[in-house]
């Protein structure tokens, strides 16, 4: 599978032939769908909450500078530091400097998509600092040396058997010789290994689901508690978060939390919701000595004034991909980017440039289910359509597609010519078809007939028949 | 509504016009039975949706203007496709937003444009004389379902129990040009849908959008599945003589 969005089609073909992946996706699709529906039916005010959540984020995006500065002030007041980073390189360098300042050899990490976005793990490795992922899914894919295939279920593409084999490949060397098959046993083994890491780590790095301006707090949600241990035991806690994660108040964070878990896993709340405010205080029993927040822009502020702004409301629940037929067929790796599914098909071209990523906004049937399940009311099909327009205007869509489309549109704008040409076209098909109801192959229609028969036209067009007699036999 | 018969323009849609005129004739039959006079203006071609969804706004606008002019003088516009009807109802006003006069015309057209079953049921309060027969399942095409809320209307008109699949709100993978651009993904999505249809025990799959039906029928034929695909207008008009979509190979 190629790590570039331009390879989406080739990647998807490969994914469709991968029986393990298809089994994993099938289980995920069924599970996510049922759980989300159940959670939402159980909360009659869910729609109203989504409206409220959407309004909160819209308000924040209108006043992002103010809230970011307020957040910084509050972090500082509670004894922490905020580091502003324009791009991925700056963020990597700051994090490296912070790690080096405490002579870090090993860092534990909570789940963070922004860390994936900036390619933090390979960068730390290259600088002789060993990152250890502590979210079970992230731990699995770190062993497999793969990127996450889903924003909340990074190892969603793996079956239990694959995880069992993977653990048995890596764990005997660190004192776990037996191959385990049961889910609970596999989790137990990973937990035992990770427990040691928490205690040994010099720095703990987590992401943030929300940053709260009023208190300078960062918020993470997890189901494993790994985030808490990642950030509490080491001397230094680094939070890496993108600027749009900010919310004004604790109350606002609570509103967003109520829609987040329900939309994501179908839980009412995640098992752990952790608020971090500054380092350990004088009378605290535990906590890090240093608290740093690395704030990443990486192209987001440029979206603020434009037509793609709505994507900045995204709270990374994953509902759009869980309900996307394309994602559930091709899997997350096919997108060849950090972010996948409908939100990724919008965000990736906006962050990395449309030229490399123009295949992604086209990787949608525009069925609209993503928009219908998005708790933040992001009009994903509209945003993808706008990116398609930009790609068309920049002439970076495939030449062959532009040619056929232009020809069709040119003819369709000349009704008399259109009706004359379609008459000829239908006549040719009639000759080719010789009474058949369908074609197994047609010239220039390989994109259709590779996998589908092409239904033969019935005969003359409706418009031709209507013009002649207004009704057959009338 | 005045006592005179409502004057309806049938916007045939390019797919029905070229591949399935029987669905358009069935629509005419139904509209007349519901008490309308029907015309199909010759200046209509394509609604512009392929251009619009491919990012070609200029051609989409030109086709939208042409379609608006072809249809604006009628009392109602009825479309045997949820997707093309939604293009006119939702996307024409967006497309024309930059030009006040065209935007007003687009909004006026949008307000009187309906998907066929939506119009028959919601506006004309029409009820066919007989319930549809056979083991029928219904494919809710996405645009009609999510952009127009078409779901109850075709079922009410069919008046017979529908063998529902357990994933009715999921796409069939057609998606217009998507189905030839990403053939394999589109086909994989169709296969899931076809298996769901098969599991209902239905022998007839009907729906309001010919694009989805051609895609599904073509795939089912390639797989050798024993399913018939028909536009809902044909079933409602009692036309079961016409061979099904992608019907017998010879």
Q: What is the pLDDT of residue B248?
A: 83
Contact residues, chain A, for B12 at CB < 8 Å: 462-463
First to last CA, chain A: 60
What is the predicted pLDDT for the residue at B3? 61
Asked if B128 has any chain A CB less than 8 Å from its own CB, the reply is: no
Q: Cβ contacts (< 8 Å) between B182 and chain A: which residues?
A: 8-9, 12, 326, 362-363
- Considering only alpha carbons, which residue of chain B is nearest residue A398? B181
Contact B183 A447 (CB under 8 A): yes
pLDDT tens over chain B, length 250 residues: 456 899 999 999 999 999 999 999 999 999 999 999 999 999 999 999 999 999 999 999 999 999 999 999 999 999 999 999 999 999 999 999 999 999 999 999 999 999 999 999 999 999 999 999 999 999 999 999 999 999 999 999 999 999 999 889 999 999 999 999 999 999 999 999 999 999 999 999 999 999 999 999 999 999 999 999 999 999 999 998 999 999 887 6
User: From B218, which residue of chain A is nearest by alpha-carbon distance?
Assistant: A453
- Burial of B111 by CB count in 10 Å (0-12 exposed, 13-18 middle, 19+ buried)? exposed
CATH 3.40.50.10420 in chain A is located at 63-156+192-298
Question: Residue A470: what pLDDT?
Answer: 64
Q: Which percentage of chain B shows pLDDT scores above 70?
A: 98
Q: Does B78 touch chain A (CB under 8 A)?
A: no
Structural fold of domain B7-121: Rossmann fold (3.40.50)
Q: Does A467 reach chain B within 8 Å, measured CB to CB?
A: yes
Is residue A137 within 8 Å of residue A156, measured between CB atoms? yes
pLDDT for B247 equals 87
Residue of A nearest to B244 (CA): A437
Q: Is the dihedral of CA B171, B173, B176, B177 positive or negative?
A: positive
Taking phi first (over 0 means left), then psi (-120 to 50 degrees means alpha), and beta for anything else, what does residue A119 get? left
Number of cross-chain residue pairs from A and B with Cβ atoms under 8 Å apart? 222
Closest by Cβ to A436, choosing from B142, B186, B250: B250
How far away is chain A from the Cα of B14, in angstroms, using its nearest Cα?
9
Stretch(es) of chain B classified as CATH 3.40.50.1860: 128-236
Contact A462 B179 (CB under 8 A): no
Nearest to B50 among A405, A440, A445 (CB): A405
Spans in chain A with pLDDT lower than 70: 470-474
Nearest Cα of chain B lies from the Cα of A48 at a distance, in angstroms, of 19
CATH number of B128-236: 3.40.50.1860
Strand partners, A131: A107
Homologous superfamily, domain A63-156+192-298: NagB/RpiA/CoA transferase-like (3.40.50.10420)
pLDDT, tens digit, 9 for 90 and up, residues B107-135? 999 999 999 999 999 999 999 999 999 99
Q: Which of residues 211-230 of B touch A (CB under 8 A)?
A: 214-215, 217-219, 221-222
Contact A448 B188 (CB under 8 A): no
What confidence score (pLDDT) does residue A472 get? 46
pLDDT given for residue A474 in this prediction = 38
Scanning A442-461 for CB atoms below 8 A from B yields 445, 447-448, 450-461
Of A397, A418, A452, the CB nearest to B55: A397
pLDDT score at A274 = 97
pLDDT at A473: 42
Torsion of CA A297, A303, A308, A314, to 10 degrees: 30
């Amino acid at each position: 599978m190629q790590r570039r969005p331009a390879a989406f089609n080739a990647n998807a073909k490969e994914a469709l032939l991968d029986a393990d992946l298809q089994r994993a996706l099938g289980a995920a699709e069924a599970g996510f769908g049922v759980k989300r529906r159940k959670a939402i039916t159980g909360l009659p005010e869910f729609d109203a909450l989504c409206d409220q959540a959407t309004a909160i984020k819209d308000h924040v995006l209108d006043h992002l500078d103010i809230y970011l500065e307020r957040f910084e002030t509050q972090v500082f007041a509670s004894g922490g530091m905020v580091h502003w980073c324009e791009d991925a390189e700056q963020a990597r360098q700051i994090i490296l400097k912070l790690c080096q300042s405490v002579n870090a050899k090993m860092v534990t990490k909570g789940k963070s998509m922004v860390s994936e976005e900036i390619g933090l793990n390979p960068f730390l490795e290259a600088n002789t600092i060993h990152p250890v992922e502590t979210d079970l899914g992230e731990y699995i894919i770190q062993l497999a040396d793969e990127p996450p295939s889903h924003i909340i279920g990074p190892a969603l593409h793996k079956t239990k058997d694959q995880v069992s084999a993977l653990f048995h490949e890596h764990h005997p060397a660190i004192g776990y010789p037996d191959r385990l098959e049961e889910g609970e046993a596999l989790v137990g083994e990973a937990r035992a290994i990770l427990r040691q890491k928490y205690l040994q780590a010099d720095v703990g790095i987590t992401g943030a689901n929300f940053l709260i301006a009023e208190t300078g707090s960062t918020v993470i949600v997890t189901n494993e508690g790994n985030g808490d241990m990642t950030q509490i035991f080491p001397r230094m806690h680094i939070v890496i978060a993108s600027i749009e994660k900010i919310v004004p108040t604790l109350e606002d964070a609570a509103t967003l939390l109520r829609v987040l878990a329900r939309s994501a896993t179908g839980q009412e709340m995640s098992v752990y919701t952790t608020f971090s405010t500054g380092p350990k205080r004088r009378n605290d029993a535990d906590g890090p000595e240093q608290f740093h927040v690395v704030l990443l822009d990486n192209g987001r502020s440029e979206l603020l004034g434009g037509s793609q702004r709505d994507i900045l409301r995204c709270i990374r629940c994953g509902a759009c991909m869980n309900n996307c037929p394309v994602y559930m067929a091709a899997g997350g790796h096919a997108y060849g980017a950090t972010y996948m599914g409908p939100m990724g098909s919008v965000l990736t071209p906006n962050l990395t440039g449309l030229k490399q990523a123009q295949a992604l906004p086209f990787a949608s049937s525009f069925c609209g289910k993503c928009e219908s399940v998005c708790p933040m009311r992001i009009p994903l099909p509209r945003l993808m359509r706008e990116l398609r327009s930009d790609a068309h205007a920049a002439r970076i869509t495939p030449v062959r597609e532009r040619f056929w489309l232009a020809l069709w549109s040119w003819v369709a704008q000349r009704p008399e010519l259109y009706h004359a040409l379609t008459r000829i076209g239908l006549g040719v098909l009639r000759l080719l078809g010789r009474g058949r109801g369908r074609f197994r192959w047609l010239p220039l229609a390989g994109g259709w007939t590779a996998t589908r028969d092409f239904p033969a036209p019935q005969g003359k067009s409706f418009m031709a028949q209507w013009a002649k007699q207004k009704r057959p036999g009338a | 509504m005045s006592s005179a018969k409502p004057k309806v323009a049938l916007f045939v849609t390019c797919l029905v016009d070229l591949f399935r005129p029987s669905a358009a004739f069935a629509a005419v039959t139904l509209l007349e039975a519901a008490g309308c006079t029907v015309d199909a203006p010759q200046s209509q071609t394509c609604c512009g949706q392929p251009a619009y969804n491919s990012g070609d706004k200029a051609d989409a606008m030109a086709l939208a203007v042409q379609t608006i002019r072809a249809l604006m003088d009628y009392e109602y516009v009825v479309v045997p496709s949820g997707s093309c009807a939604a293009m006119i109802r939702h996307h024409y006003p967006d497309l024309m937003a930059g030009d006040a006069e065209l935007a007003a015309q687009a909004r006026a057209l949008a307000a009187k444009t309906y998907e066929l079953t939506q119009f028959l049921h919601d506006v004309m309060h029409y009820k066919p004389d007989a319930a549809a027969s056979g083991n029928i399942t219904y494919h809710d095409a996405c645009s009609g379902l999510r952009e127009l809320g078409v779901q109850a209307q075709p079922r009410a008109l069919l008046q017979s129990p529908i063998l529902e699949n357990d994933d009715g709100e999921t796409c069939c993978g057609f998606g217009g040009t998507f189905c030839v651009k990403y053939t394999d993904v589109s086909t994989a999505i169709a296969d899931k849908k076809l298996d769901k249809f098969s599991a209902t025990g239905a022998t007839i799959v009907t729906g309001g959008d010919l694009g989805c039906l051609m895609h599904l029928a073509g795939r089912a034929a390639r797989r050798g599945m024993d399913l018939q695909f028909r536009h809902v207008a044909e079933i409602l008009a009692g036309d079961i003589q016409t061979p099904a979509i992608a019907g017998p190979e010879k």
